[in-house]
Amino acid sequence: MHPADPTAQRRVLAALLRACRGLRIRLQQQSRHLSAGDYGDLNTDSSAIEAGLVRVAEILRQLQQQVGCNGVTELDGRLQRSEIARPWRRLVRLMHTCDQQNQQNGVLLQQRQIQVQTALNAVIKRGDASLYGRAGRQHPAPVSSRLLGLG
């Protein structure tokens, strides 16, 4: 196959578009699960997204090799001026959409992490023994405090 073969490049670009669309669907599904508070499938969602990212990266490398580029910036420059510029721009917009969705999901995941951490801290603090002064007020144990019956 010739490196400048537009038919082969179209096939690879079509595969890349399919992979990105699949990735977008997985990201949207993860967003729905996070928004609904359905955290049971997060590992499955994350694994599917990771597999989708790997697939996109593999196909992108294949396209770089076909075009004869060393990086995505060079690839973008060449394809913007090629016969497949229109589908390439569509792909770039789709990748941008995936990136935005991934960032939004990251915010939702971070919020969930804060919720879990807050709940864990509340459980841990409930398990601490409270110390009370003579007035019946709770206060932290003084540094020099002794355990009852040992002193």
User: How many CA atoms are closer than 13 Å to the CA of 139, on its beta-carbon side?
Assistant: 10
The rounded mean pLDDT for the chain is 83
- What would the pLDDT profile of 106-145 be if each residue is shown by its tens digit? 999 998 889 888 988 888 876 555 555 555 555 555 555 5
What pLDDT sits at residue 142?
55
What pLDDT sits at residue 151?
44
Going along the chain from its start, the domains and CATH numbers come out as 6-127 (1.20.58)
Question: How far, CA to CA in Å, does 139 sit from each of 76, 110, 130, 133?
Answer: 64, 33, 8, 7
User: Between 61 and 3, whose confidence is greater?
Assistant: 61
